[in-house]
Structure 1
Amino acid sequence: MDIYSKAIKVFGKETQLIKAVEELSELQKEICKFLISRTGNVEEEIADVKIMIRQLEKVFDKEIIQKWEEEKIKRLSKVCEVVECAKKN
């Protein structure tokens, strides 16, 4: 059993979902701090969020997540192309 599955088993799904929301909020706060004063622990909070994302992938359907991710990456690629073209003109 990997550490992500173990954490879910030990603490429970609901607790880890709450923890994920908490970690996302902390990342949001640190990004705001960085934008305002160029200080904060953004990298640390990114690490915490990545750990929680890996747990969320255990709780929810990883295949569906992957499909959404692929679709959204395609959409992002198209938007980047449009913006690049607009900047060139």
Structure 2
Amino acid sequence: MEALRAEALQAKRDLEDQHHRHRQELQLLQEESLKVFQAFHQVSEEQKRTMKDRYQSLLLEAVQDAVYLSAQNQQLQVENKMHRVGKL
């Protein structure tokens, strides 16, 4: 009987040790997953900022082009009027 009790006690200790190791491993995996998620989030935010900056740059270029083309168009209209007046 004593041998059975000792064996049961050892089995209980082994299970507790295994449970403790599994909990530690789970905690490490959770921490690692959190680190991976944080890194992914940081890269995602950096990409978002880069895309926003690029979009703003393209928008500014488009506005500048529109202003330039509008000024060119006005100049050409003035020149066309002058040519028409000169031909009359």
TM-score, normalisation: structure 2? 0.33
Rg larger in 1 or in 2?
Answer: 2
Looking at secondary structure, tell me which structure has more helix per residue: 2
Higher relative contact order (CA 8 A, sep 6+): 1
TM-score, normalisation: structure 1? 0.33
